[in-house]
């Protein structure tokens, strides 16, 4: 497997069409890309008090790693392996409030911190227990109430998200409320990377999203690149439904209607005056992707206005295009394209980072 993207966007060609249906690339990305990146897993409201537990599968259909959020009796939040160290049974099958964790297969018991406590019929077992009998603790990071984990993080979460926090850290995320009725999943018959690439350029907005194009100033639409993320800045075309920015913001004095942050490899944090739309792109196969739209409302009165309005329509418009691209890149007459140096910096950045991770040696 060898792919290249020139670091100079003015001479670079895109990845070839074969990249997006190559099973070798898909398999390699599991450990080289997704296991090494920080993944959004929810918020602290789901595990508020000591004894709270929440089992989940990290990137169901791709990594398929059974994990467990646990708030121990010292009120410390942890992310643990949810696999019993005896025979591999899932320890916690349903979320709730517990004083300890107990595998119902053979009765092995763990503390809320994952430490081994007891096991029946093991009295004569030698050199037992060891630290290997504890549940593995997995790296857990937070930004305000938002939670992230990584199986093998390339750096700490603070470094990973620093450009995001520096830009919009003034927002009171603790006041944002997850709203299930405004959240939903989309199933897309296309490679996950094609979906991300579509998100990462505003070039298509005037051609695909007429409503969105009417409320943002396409001429002022810009992309800024950072180590593990980038930002597309949406400026209002009419001064309506904009952020009330603090004087300390680098954007103070401008009519900003949306901050579109992409975090490598598969996370979008879309901030609007009404709140936050978290989009998690989950690969299910080389040509199948699930996108989770998770809505966090801050100001209900601003929903339906400006760039943050009609998100379902925008998503469906993108879905159709991405699925057609998936079909098109299989053509015998298509190999590579070229990047617009002024409008596709984000897509070039994504492809460069993706190859950087794919060509590194995974530790997991």
Sign of the C-alpha dihedral computed for residues 295, 296, 302 and 305 taken in this order: negative
Looking at domain 39-143, does it have CATH number 3.20.20.140? Answer: no
- 177-358 and 39-143 share a CATH fold: no
Mean per-residue pLDDT, 254-275: 96
pLDDT score at 363: 42
Where do the domains of the chain lie? 39-143, 177-358
The distance in angstroms from the start CA to the end CA of the chain is 19
Q: Tell me the pLDDT tens digit for each residue of 181-215.
A: 999 999 999 999 999 999 999 888 888 887 787 77
The DSSP letter of residue 136 is P
Mean pLDDT across the chain: 94
Split at pLDDT 50, 70, 90, the class of 364 is: very low
Q: Does residue 61 come out as left (phi exceeding 0), alpha (psi in the -120 to 50 range) or beta?
A: left
Report yes or no: 296 and 178 within 8 Å, Cβ to Cβ: yes
Helix axes 345-358 and 192-199, enclosed angle (nearest 10): 150
pLDDT score at 88: 98
Looking at domain 177-358, does it have CATH number 3.40.50.720? Answer: no
pLDDT score at 99: 94
Choose between 304 and 138: higher pLDDT: 138
Report yes or no: 177 and 297 within 8 Å, Cβ to Cβ: yes
Mean per-residue pLDDT, 23-51: 97
Q: Which residues on adjacent β-strands are paired with residue 186?
A: 291
pLDDT score at 306: 81
Split at pLDDT 50, 70, 90, the class of 1 is: low
Chain-centroid distance of CA 151 in Å reads 14
Q: Tokens at residue 304, please?
A: 């339906």
pLDDT score at 361: 55
Measure the CA–CA gap between 151 and 203, rounded to whole angstroms.
34
Q: Tell me the pLDDT tens digit for each residue of 292-344.
A: 999 999 999 999 888 777 788 888 898 999 999 999 999 999 999 999 999 99
Mean per-residue pLDDT, 126-146: 98
Q: Which residues on adjacent β-strands are paired with residue 281?
A: 291
Mean per-residue pLDDT, 148-177: 97
Report yes or no: 195 and 291 within 8 Å, Cβ to Cβ: yes
Q: Tell me the pLDDT tens digit for each residue of 234-255.
A: 898 887 789 999 999 999 999 9
Report yes or no: 13 and 336 within 8 Å, Cβ to Cβ: yes
Measure the CA–CA gap between 335 and 12, rounded to whole angstroms.
14
Measure the CA–CA gap between 68 and 98, rounded to whole angstroms.
13
Measure the CA–CA gap between 283 and 289, rounded to whole angstroms.
5
Measure the CA–CA gap between 40 and 59, rounded to whole angstroms.
10
């Amino acid at each position: 497997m060898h792919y290249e993207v020139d670091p100079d966007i003015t001479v670079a060609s895109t990845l070839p069409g074969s990249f997006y249906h190559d099973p070798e690339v898909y398999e390699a990305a599991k450990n080289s890309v997704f296991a090494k990146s920080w993944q959004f897993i929810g918020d602290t409201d789901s595990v508020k008090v000591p004894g709270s537990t929440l089992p989940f599968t990290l990137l169901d259909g791709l990594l398929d790693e059974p994990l467990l959020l646990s708030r121990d009796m010292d009120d410390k939040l942890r992310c643990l392996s949810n696999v019993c160290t005896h025979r591999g049974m899932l320890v916690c099958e349903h979320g709730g409030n517990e004083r300890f964790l107990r595998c119902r297969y053979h009765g092995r018991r763990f503390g809320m911190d994952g430490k081994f406590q007891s096991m029946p019929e093991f009295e004569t077992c030698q050199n037992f227990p060891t630290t290997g009998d504890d549940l593995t603790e997995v790296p857990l990071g937070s930004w305000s109430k938002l939670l992230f984990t990584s199986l093998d993080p390339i750096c700490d979460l603070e470094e990973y998200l620093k450009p995001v926090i520096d830009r919009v850290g003034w927002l009171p995320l603790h006041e944002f409320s997850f709203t299930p009725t405004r959240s939903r999943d989309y199933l897309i018959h296309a490679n996950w990377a094609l979906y991300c690439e579509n998100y990462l350029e505003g070039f298509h907005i005037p051609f695909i999203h007429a409503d969105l194009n009417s409320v943002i100033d396409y001429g002022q639409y810009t992309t800024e690149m950072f180590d593990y993320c980038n930002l597309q800045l949406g400026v209002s075309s009419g001064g309506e439904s904009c952020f009330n920015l603090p004087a300390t913001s680098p954007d103070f004095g401008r009519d900003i209607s949306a901050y579109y942050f992409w975090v490598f490899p598969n996370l979008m944090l879309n901030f609007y005056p009404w709140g936050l739309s978290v989009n998690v792109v989950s690969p299910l196969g080389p040509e199948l992707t699930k996108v989770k739209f998770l809505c966090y409302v801050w100001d209900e009165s601003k929903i339906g206005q400006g760039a943050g309005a009609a998100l379902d329509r925008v998503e469906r418009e993108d879905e159709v295009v991405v699925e057609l691209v998936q079909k098109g890149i299989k053509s015998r007459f298509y190999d590579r394209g070229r990047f617009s140096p002024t409008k596709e910096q984000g897509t070039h950045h994504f492809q460069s980072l993706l190859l950087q991770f794919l060509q590194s040696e995974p530790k997991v």
